[in-house]
Amino acid sequence: MIVLDTHIWLRWVIQSGGGLPADVLAAIQSEDRVAVSAISCFEVPYLLKRRRIVLPLPVEDWLRDALSPTGIESLPVSWEIAFRSAQLPEHHRDPADRIIIATALMYDARLASLDSAFPRYTELGNRLIGP
């Protein structure tokens, strides 16, 4: 399984993977299971509201279409994931990103991200695909 950071998910769905580095694209295409944390379903409307992204559809429709039809799973934020994210060092100030990292750790999954703070999370070991 590979977990996509929110910005990777956006590029994967909106641009059909366009603009993603070759190693990230290959990692996603080689996995049987591709997933996002449910927290990404919070981040997308939040980014839209803050005018940091533009979507081709109303956000609720985009979320629906960007999950099941594409084969991307939404992984729930369980209490274990929430707890584990709170235990992570605050290399990244955004708690949503720590939840995404904790999700990958709890599922023993690879994590696709271009976020420059993610490599500082040594907990990820060799799971990180990105910078």
Hey, what CATH topology would domain 2-129 get?
Rossmann fold (3.40.50)
Q: How confident is the model at residue 71 (pLDDT cuts 50, 70, 90)?
A: confident
Q: What average pLDDT does the chain have?
A: 93
Contact 68, 35 (CB under 8 A): no
Domain residue ranges in the chain: 2-129
Distance CA 13, CA 27 (A): 15
Q: Tell me the mean pLDDT in the region 116-122.
A: 94
Q: How confident is the model at residue 9 (pLDDT cuts 50, 70, 90)?
A: very high
Distance CA 27, CA 12 (A): 12
Torsion on CA atoms 15, 20, 22, 26, rounded to nearest 10: -70
The model's pLDDT over 21-48, given as tens digits with 9 standing for 90+, comes to: 999 999 999 999 999 999 999 999 999 9
pTM above 0.85, yes or no: yes
**What pLDDT score does 95 carry?**
94
